Structure 1
Amino acid sequence: MSERMLQFVSRDREMPDKRDAAERRDDFLEIYGEFIDAKAREQAARCSQCGVPFCQNHCPLQNNIPDWLRLTAEGRIREAWEISDATNNMPEICGRICPQDRLCEGSCVIEQSGHGTVTIGAVEKYLTDRAWDEGWIEPLKPRRERGASVGIIGAGPAGLAAAEQLRIEGWQVTVYDRHDRAGGLLIYGIPNFKLDKAIVQRRVKRLEEGGIVFVLNCNVGTDISFDKLRDKHQAILIATGVYQARDLDVPGSASDGVRPALDFLIDSNRRGLGDRVDSETADGKDVVVIGGGDTAMDCVRTAVRQGANSVTCLYRRDHANMPGSRRETANAQEEGVHFEWLASPKAVVDTDGQTTGLRADRMRLGLKDPSGRQRPEAVPGGEFDVKADLVIKALGFTPEPMDDLSDTLTVTRWGTLRVNPVTFETNLPGVYAAGDIARGASLVVWAIREGRDAAEHMHDYLRTCESADQKVAAE
């Protein structure tokens, strides 16, 4: 029997069960359980089926959220999954790691009316996990085989999404990546307690079985030249992401014990994958993480699980202006992370080159800057010290120099690749770029969207080339 919609007035919002903080502090397992069928249907039935679906409008992928919520409420689970899958190459991954509180759920009409948002992300995750369990997700099958080939540099979310879309159209696709596993930050940047690596690996396996070739441990520009790649393939997509950490520009920042966030997370994820890693962990240390984004939250929660003596997050603005997910911040607080709001590092204190503490300034919010955010400024006489023998800088990421790849690509003043905003083509014919390397550091869901969009225009380009070749052959 179909569930009647608009149940938000009689049913409270519920998330899947969350493991107790004291238990989850000791392992890297995902912290949220699964919806059972009945609970997923109940929560989906809270949707108000808006005439103007703000949840969909605020989803970068424009997922047809009200449609698959209604189908879920009616018990038509396979149809709901098919609608979800139609616009997203990785729904179960987005359901786990998207900051829904800033996107679809944050725009939910019933949330704005005080009833608590529909648990969109949890239902999205449930649908595709169920699809995998039931065997609904079939091997990747091209519509027809085509002769031209595509080279994709980067096996992160943008590259994987584009690879799938292009392979479906029948193009021969090869993905190159510098790491020994495909997945990019999905494998090496996001901790297991948010995204179990088996979830990513089964997606990659499906692409491999569908005929996509992965060339790993291959740093394009070093192991193979960009020009050789262009000679080999009829089109190229650059989806390398942005990995260069913004530096901590204070005295003492070069001392031992100061680490970039991504290095810390990559080493932790490698350990979880069974690799031998020689770097020290946070075990027994007083850890300070500088930054307020999702990467900072990943770092503080990882440090807790590695057995840190204490973990402090230092952020120069207040909680209300923190860029990271509110949900992740709350999870970190539950797990014992201490937050120093309105605090900015002034110096790393070191003894004989080894970090022994952090000196910080108390901050206040002043006039707005050009972006519209209040500018933080130091409070006179507000210095204070924080115990620290490991300082992790999570201040964001910038692109690596493009000269290492090719000196013929045009970049913006921020170092990202300059692309046509509609087609994603660079200044070089047949060379496209998508994801963070074109957009700047952003969300996984935006990388998937741009990978899909770039693939669509690459498909058109390749068909044009194919038609031209056929015309020449006929003449």
Structure 2
Amino acid sequence: MAKQPMLKFVNVTRDMPSKRAADERNKDFHEIYAEFADAKAKEQASRCSQCGVPYCQAHCPLHNNIPDWLRMTAMGRLEEAYGISQATNTFPEICGRICPQDRLCEGNCVIEQSGHGTVTIGAVEKYITDTAWEKGWVQPIAVTTERDQSVGIIGAGPGGLAAADMLRRAGLQVTVYDRYDRAGGLLTYGIPGFKLEKDVVMRRIDQLAQSGVEFVTNCNVGEDLSFDAIRGKHDAVVIATGVYKTRDLEGPGAEATGIVRAIDYLTVSNKLSFGDEVPEYEDGTLNAAGKKVVVIGGGDTAMDCVRTAIRQGAESVKCLYRRDRANMPGSQREVQNAEEEGVEFVWLAAPKGFEGEPVSGVQVQKMRLGAPDASGRQSPEIIEGADYLEPADLVIKALGFEPEELPKLWGVDGLEVTRWGTVKAEFKTGKTSLDGVYAVGDIVRGASLVVWAIKDGRDCADAVLAYLNDSRAVAAE
């Protein structure tokens, strides 16, 4: 019997894929981490302790069977590892790249808690699926029985695409509507290439298209096509629009030219990676080259903006955040990467106002941390008399996203929303107040992680399928 190739965490240390040098990677938009070689992937997978209660799996929103595919990888059975990974995750190669593993699976690894260093779960997940694509194991969905019922999905981000994948596998006719010229949502236009190269997203969308999923792009619901028209065309509808409304800055001068939204800035940069002509970049409006850039915010979107500005050739890039490093919501790994690439973080600092037209400076007020707020985090308090002016030619608002007013935007009655403006939907199923209409992802949760959107899309697909089965049974009576 072959020797068990696991439990090697005692004598094999944690090792991540090598990271390209900062002064090399900060000049392009290619991913910064190298691929694992086969031997290294097997070695790192073999560190898994195969514990009885896998906390990595429990803390993964998708409850991926992580110990199982780590074991298959360690044994060199990569096609089986991919099968196990794909069974619970529609886009494992995307999650392997952009999930905050330090807060989810890896952060809760049992051997990490015992002081041996976590298993590099994300890097192995990425390696497995990239190998699957390379070897041709990833194929279009083979539908065994076509059904005449159809589902319309509004939004081609991770939640909508995950639902489309599952519903198509069940033989349903699926049409995805999206406002942009390419599918993918924030995967395509919100996340920079140095974290997620665009061919990784496009090949999944192409796989879905080859599987029979229809994509209707450049379609702004409420303008180009009414919500009622989509409802009338399909037997069920899934709302997966995400949240795109930017939280605004306040204070004098906040409307000045040169103060821009993070989503606009990142979208333009990502369009360039496709080779598109982008006037806003060419005329300098959304181009950081040669400018003093100030990004306001402390989440992952802010990290994407500062690192993009560095790559565009900014003269300087500073990130203002009103709390300290320990209390910022963004990934600590991303902060480290940004610092290595030349970004300066200004902690305990918030904008008070802006000078110039176009903007020439940010009036910064210094903060200190006081008593905890309702979430348990310490609330920032202003330090009186400590204001100063930070020179800036481009200010990027990365304060988070809020939902658009869909009932008003789409002119639809009866679609209930919460007091935060998110669509009111049942937990687990995504069922809304309208018959046959479901909602998933950020438009229900508020701004959240891609992995949660995938989870919601998959769960919702099960609920939609049950609804359509019930509808057919009733019609047959």
Give the TM-score normalised by the residue count of structure 2.
0.97
Report the AA paired with residue 193 of structure 1: F
Determine the C-alpha separation between the residues in 2 that align with 1:260 and 1:2. Answer: 56
Aligned to 1:373: 377
User: What secondary structure does 2:225 align onto?
Assistant: coil
After superposition, residues 280-359 of structure 1 pair within 5 angstroms as: 280=284, 281-350=287-356, 353-359=357-363
Mapped partners of 1:139, 1:248: distance in 2: 45
1:3 Cα shift? 5.5
Q: Which aligned pairs between 1:188-199 and structure 2 lie closer than 5 A?
A: 188-199=189-200
Whether 1:212 and 2:216 are equivalent positions in the alignment is no
The alpha carbon displacement at 1:385 in A equals: 2.2
Q: Determine if contact 1:361/1:382 at 8 Å carries over to the other structure.
A: yes
Distance 1:170 1:326, change over 3 A: same
Q: Is the 8 A contact 2:297 2:321 kept in 1?
A: yes
Q: Select 1:404's aligned residue among 405, 409, 412.
A: 409
Secondary structure of the 2:462 match is helix
Per the alignment, residue 226 of structure 1 pairs with 227
Q: Which residue identity is paired with 1:59? A: C
* Structure 1 residue 142 displacement after superposition: 1.7
**AA in 1 matched with 2:235:** Q
> d(CA) in 2 for partners of 1:470 and 1:203?
37
Mapped pair 1:389 → 2:393:
yes
Q: Deviations over 1:121-148 (max 9, x none)?
A: 0000000000001111122112311111
Q: CA deviation at 1:309?
A: 0.2
How far apart are the structure 1 equivalents of 2:317 and 2:3? 48
- Structure 2 Cα separation of the partners of residues 204 and 121 of structure 1: 22
After the TM superposition, which residues 215-254 of structure 1 pair with which residues of structure 2 at under 5 Å, given as runs? 215-254=216-255
Structure 2: which 5+ runs fail to align? none
Amino acid at match of 2:337: N
CA deviation vs aligned residue, 1:149-204 (integer Å, no higher than 9, x gap): 00000000000000010000001100001111010000000001111110111101
Q: Which moved more, 1:258-267 or 1:113-122?
A: 113-122
How big is each residue's C-alpha offset from its partner over 1:3-59, in whole Å with a ceiling of 9 and x where there is no partner? 632212211111111110000111111111100110001001111112111111111
SS, match of residue 83 in structure 1: helix
Which residue of structure 2 lines up, in the alignment, with residue 135 of structure 1?
A: 136
Name the amino acid aligned to 1:404.
L
Amino acid at match of 1:349: E
Instruction: Give the deviation of 1:384 after TM superposition.
Output: 2.2
| C-alpha contact 2:159 2:455 (8 A) present in aligned 1 | yes
Are 2:122 and 1:118 aligned?
no
Is 1:415 aligned with 2:421? yes
Q: 1:446 is matched with which residue: 440, 445, 452?
A: 452
* Separation in 1, partners of 2:314, 2:324: 25
Letter in 2 for 1:426: T
Instruction: Give the distance between the partners of 1:349 and 1:218, measured in 2 at CA.
Output: 38
Q: Could you tell me which residue of structure 2 aligns to residue 183 of structure 1?
A: 184
1:104 aligns with 2:86: no
Measured in 2, the distance between the counterparts of 1:142 and 1:235 equals 20
Distance of 1:370 and 1:311 partners within structure 2:
32
Letter of the 2:224 counterpart: D
Q: How many residues align?
A: 469
Cα pair 2:159 2:240 within 8 Å, conserved:
yes
Q: In 2, are the aligned partners of 1:250 and 1:346 still within 8 Å (CA)?
A: yes
> Partner residue of 2:172?
171
Superimposed CA distance per residue, residues 250-289 of structure 1 (whole angstroms, 9 cap, x where no aligned partner): 2111001100100000010011111111112000000010
Alpha-carbon distance in structure 1 between the residues aligned to 2:295 and 2:261: 10
Structure 1 residues without counterparts, runs of 5 or longer: none
Task: Work out whether residues 428 and 456 of structure 2, in 8 Å CA contact, stay in contact via their aligned partners in 1.
Answer: no
- Matches of 1:29 and 1:2, distance apart in 2: 39
Q: Is the 8 A contact 1:148 1:466 kept in 2?
A: no
Identity of aligned residues (%): 62
CA RMSD in angstroms comes to 1.0
Q: Compared with structure 1, are the counterparts of its residues 4 and 228 closer, same or farther at alpha carbon in structure 2 (3 Å cutoff)?
A: same
Partners of 1:155 and 1:239 within 8 A in 2: yes
Alpha-carbon separation, structure 1, partners of 2:219 and 2:237? 16
Whichever residue aligns with residue 380 of structure 1, its letter is: E
- Is contact 1:3-1:73 (8 Å) kept? no
Closer, same or farther in 2 for the Cα pair 1:340/1:2, shift >3 Å? farther
The 3-state SS of whatever aligns with 1:344 is strand
Distance 1:139 1:470 in 2: 32
- Measured in 2, the distance between the counterparts of 1:83 and 1:356 equals 54
C-alpha distance in structure 1 between counterparts of 2:71 and 2:369, whole Å: 44
Q: Distance in 1 between matches of 2:393 and 2:118?
A: 41
Q: Using the TM superposition, give the Cα deviation of residue 2 of structure 1 relative to its aligned residue in structure 2, in angstroms.
A: 5.3
Question: Per-residue displacement from partner, 1:356-407 (whole Å, max 9, x unpaired)?
Answer: 1111111111111111111010112221222211010100000111111223
CA contact (8 A) 1:2 1:73 kept: no
Asked if the contact 2:349/2:367 (under 8 Å) is kept, the reply is yes
The amino acid across from 1:222 in the alignment is E
Preserved contact between residue 290 and residue 314 of structure 1 (Cα < 8 Å) = yes
Q: Note if contact 1:3-1:41 (Cα within 8 Å) is conserved in structure 2.
A: no
Residue pair 1:2, 1:75 contacting (<8 A) in 2 also = no
